[in-house]
Amino acid sequence: MTATHTAQVHTAKHQWATGLVVFGAVLLAIAGILDILRGISAIAEDDVYLTTRNYVFQFDLTGWGWIHVILGAIAVIVSIGLFQDAMWGRVLGVAVAGLIIISNFLSLPYFPVWSIVMIAFSGFIIWALCVARPDESAKV
């Protein structure tokens, strides 16, 4: 391999890694905004969502609404850190996406289809933020 080819490979890896972090940041921002909107609708109208009896993790829908508003707001803030390529943003992004998965699992009976969509969405966020390693690929 020539030095030019090696530099091109490292540049391509760096671009790929940067693209994945931006992808994760965009997805996290969208997930946060959607979580905020879902939380607001649950707070405003308790009769909008399916209610179920005898669920182990039973909460009032207003409580679930506040949980989703708070997680959504944190996700949007963390996505801003991801756009700045901050390592704390990547770490917190994975953590917040994990919390979004857990909250959607726990609220599955209240928002069945949407919870499954958000679990998958958050899985892609975690994948994008864990696979990309811009610090290693930048070395030449």
pLDDT digits (tens, 9 = 90+) for 117-134: 999 989 988 988 888 765
Query: What per-residue confidence (pLDDT) applies to 74?
Result: 96
Q: State pLDDT tens for residues 42-93.
A: 888 766 555 566 665 666 778 878 988 999 999 999 999 888 878 888 899 9
Q: Could you tell me if residue 16 is inside a domain?
A: no
Q: Could you tell me if residue 11 is inside a domain?
A: no
Residues with Cβ within 8 Å of 89's Cβ and at least 6 positions away in sequence, in order, are 25, 78, 79, 80, 81, 82, 83
Query: What per-residue confidence (pLDDT) applies to 134?
Result: 54
Q: Could you tell me if residue 43 is inside a domain?
A: yes
Q: State pLDDT tens for residues 5-16.
A: 455 555 666 666
The answer to whether the CB of 52 falls within 8 A of the CB of 109 is yes
Q: Could you tell me if residue 15 is inside a domain?
A: no
Q: How far from the centroid of its chain's Cα atoms is residue 30's Cα?
A: 8
Query: What per-residue confidence (pLDDT) applies to 140?
Result: 37
As a whole number, mean pLDDT of residues 85-108 equals 89
Q: Could you tell me if residue 92 is inside a domain?
A: yes
pTM given for the model = 0.75
Q: Could you tell me if residue 51 is inside a domain?
A: yes
Tally of domains within the chain = 1
Full domain range(s) for residue 53:
29-132
